[in-house]
A and B are shown apart, each in its own frame.
Chain A
Amino acid sequence: MADVIVVGSGASGGMAAYNLTQKGVKVLMLDAGEEFDRRYFWTHTLPYEADGRRRRGDAPPRFFLDTKEQPYLTPEGRPFDLARVWGRGGKTNVWGRVSLRMSDLDFTAAERDGWGIPWPIRYADVAAYYDRAEQLMGVCGGTDDSDVLPGSRFLMPPPAPRCGEVFMQKACDRLRIPMVAGRRANFTRPHRGFPPCHYCGACGDGCDTGSFFNSADHLIPQALATGKLEILSNAVVARILVDEHGRAAAVQYFDRKTGAERQVKGRVVVLGASAMDSTRILLNSKSPRFPNGLGNGSDQLGRNFCEQIMVHVRGFLPQLFGRGYTNDDGIGGEHVYVPRFNHRPDRPKPDYLRGFGIQFWNTGAQTTGADVAHSLPGFGASFKAAVKKRYPALVSLHPFGEVLSRPENRVTVDESRKDRYGVPLMKIDVRFGDNERKMRKHMYDTCEEILHTLGAEIVPFDREANDVPGSAIHEHSTCRMGKDPKTSVLNAFNQMHEVENLFVVDGSAFTSASEKNPTLTIVALSWRATDYLAEEMRAGRL
């Protein structure tokens, strides 16, 4: 019997296994897939080479889970895009790598504006874990801390801005909109035996040199090296089974290859299967003692979904027209970031709650030129010339705004619809509200203002448009932490109020989403939770 069963091998599960095994705890990890072999990544495969290979029947590793294999339900007319990676390292194989600390602006939001429940922790509770996580993850960035974005002292040097980003900085300076160096878990220096980033810009296809943080290279091998970690691959977890005392006793899973049902026992269970799947597992873990799902006496499990709303505005900078190709690949994503600014005293008070930051991926000649061409009207030689002229001049603005957590935005399981293992499917029911729509207007206005300041050609856009819910791939709060067991599922250490030997360490534990990308916080919180867990075990309380 394992000391601890960890479900999931991504940022949260990987960290749980990493930290616990360093402390001598025996861990059994259940991974829903297998290792992705980086020898077969298509990191440097150019699009036309990829076309040729595909025609010959070759294919890159399939990172994202096919919904045909594991469907999820949505209500008619309310689509939700759920991206899942089942396999060693999970989504960290292909993640966006943006690594932003949350601050007390985020942790105290509910106290200040009254929306939702308060976080049970403050920045001071996590600060030391952010320090450790940033060092482990090799985050690069500037020394431009603020009340929004604190604590940069362990960052590697940031990459230099691209041409388009230099102009964006000038526009933001003029508008008194803050702009800082981007913070990303790309190594700009050699790190933990791995070479630094080689600036090919193709991180989304998986890194062939392991030069950005991912669980498969930077957590799990180190955990395996302790001799304390065993991994079961292709183990699709269905339920947590409880004993007569209501404690987690075993984990039921199905072998993804054979469909066979299996159970494994452990003293403690740590769930890090990503927000939606951890929630699904808990909701399906029904028993006489927990008829509405495990640890769901509060009826908060599955509720309060939140994330970020995203919109996209693109333009062409006349300053860069016709300048020809420059290599703008860099660390595969923007080198600059606009942190939240709507709360600043010199800004008009917004007519909505919370805030947004702006990211800028796809600025300059980072893509094939099709992105530019799709934005331009017409055809023929003049069209072709217009594309070439604007190719180096593309700038893209991507505001991410905090979506408020609402009880009616929720995950449930449908007993009448089963997956291939006979386990009820999850249903995700999410819609944005007035607060998001008002924030969206401010997001679009800000993007326009920045582009107008530069005299840019703005690609026409629909002001009512935003990405489908789920698109940020930052799902939160369906298993939220809080002080009060009546309004939350977990305590301040990601431990279930109602089941003391069960911890949930992925994004579902967040009390609110903030406007920031969550992985750095997930790693920090999983580290903190498993420190607590190991100490409780050592003291004989678990």
Chain B
Amino acid sequence: MAPLLSHFHPSVPKQEGAWKPRFLREPEVETVTWLAERIIPETDTPGARRALVHQYVDFVLAEGEAGPRERFRAGLAWLDRRCGTLFGKPFARLEAGQQDEILRRLSSSPSGEEPAGVDFFGEVKRLSVDGYYRSEAGMTQELGFEGRTFLAEFKGCTHPEHHSWKVEE
């Protein structure tokens, strides 16, 4: 992403008519959208934001159990508090570089950040990854998936170089 654009945050795309979150509140939607986008950003293919990963995350949380749901909400609050301390703004208002900085702190091993934050990052990453790689953008545009369909024949590995490959002595 060009540096000049790094703080430019277009609004969350609206699709499927007027999508309304079932669990997340509006400011939380924004935070989740940008968290997911920093984890799987737009490159030559769409990132999590255009893949509507925030909608997936909201759906999973809404359908899931209350405990994990409330822990997720507490995690979002922790993140904004921590960003306030470090950068003076909540996560969604930070520049991309600052967003990456807090995620680097949370994902480095060992992390110097509080376990509550580290666990929250793990959960956000897990949900973002699930949401992105099962989305149409993630499956087909990013990874080129063409499966789960009718094949008259299954050819298996047709690469001569694989069949001729030898284990090194």
Contact = CB atoms under 8 A, between A and B. Distances in A.
Interface of A: 44, 46-48, 51-52, 54-55, 159-163, 165-167, 170-171, 173-174, 198-202, 319, 324-325, 327-331, 335, 365-366, 368-370, 373-374, 377-381, 383-385, 387-388, 391, 453-454
Contacts of A52: 16
Interface stretch (B23-31, B81-89, B124-132): B124-132
B56 interface: yes
B78 interface: no
B143 interface: yes
A331 B151 CA distance: 11
A167 B150 CA distance: 26
Interface of B: 16, 38-41, 43, 47, 56, 59, 100, 103, 107, 109, 125-126, 129-130, 132-136, 138-139, 142-157, 159, 162-163, 165-167
B133 A380 contact: no
B152 to A, nearest CB: 7
Given A377-B107, A378-B107, A200 B151 contact: yes
B167 A174 contact: yes
A368 B131 CA distance: 10
Given A330-B154, A377-B109, 16 more contacts: A44-B150, A48-B134, A48-B136, A160-B154, A160-B157, A171-B167, A174-B167, A201-B148, A368-B145, A370-B132, A379-B40, A380-B39, A383-B39, A385-B43, A387-B143, A453-B167
A51 B142 contact: no
Contacts of A368: 133-134, 138-139, 143, 145
Contacts of B143: 325, 365, 368-369, 387-388, 391
A379 B127 CA distance: 13
Given A48-B135, A369-B139, A379 B154 contact: no
Nearest to B126: A374
A521 B153 CA distance: 29
Contact of B162 (A163, A335, A385): A163
Contact of A369 (B100, B107, B133, B152): B133
9 contacts: A48-B135, A173-B167, A199-B151, A368-B143, A369-B138, A369-B145, A370-B129, A380-B39, A387-B143
A335 B157 CA distance: 11
Contacts of B133: 368-370, 373, 387
A159 B154 contact: yes
Nearest to B135: A48
A64 B165 CA distance: 43
A171 B39 CA distance: 35
B107 A379 contact: yes
A195 B36 CA distance: 43
B40 A383 contact: yes
Given A47-B139, A383-B39, A329 B147 contact: yes
A330 B133 CA distance: 21
Contacts of B109: 377
A55 B133 CA distance: 18
B7 to A, nearest CB: 17
Contacts of B152: 198
B140 to A, nearest CB: 9
A335 B133 CA distance: 25
A162 B39 CA distance: 31
A159 B152 CA distance: 12
Contacts of A159: 154, 156
B134 A384 contact: no
Contacts of B165: 167, 170, 319
Contacts of B156: 159-162, 165-166, 330, 335
A384 B162 contact: no
Nearest to A332: B148
A529 B139 CA distance: 49
B60 to A, nearest CB: 9
Contacts of B43: 381, 384-385
Nearest to B63: A54
B134 A325 contact: no
B13 to A, nearest CB: 15
B157 A163 contact: yes
Contact of A374 (B38, B41, B129): B129
Contacts of A166: 156-157, 162-163
Given A319-B165, A373-B129, A373-B133, A380 B38 contact: yes
Contacts of B166: 170
B110 to A, nearest CB: 12
Interface centre among B16, B136, B162 (most CB of A within 10 A): B162
Contacts of B149: 44, 200
Nearest to B56: A51
Nearest to A56: B16
A198 B129 contact: no
B147 A160 contact: no
B167 A454 contact: yes
B120 to A, nearest CB: 13
B148 A384 contact: no
Nearest to A323: B159
Nearest to B153: A199
A200 B59 contact: no
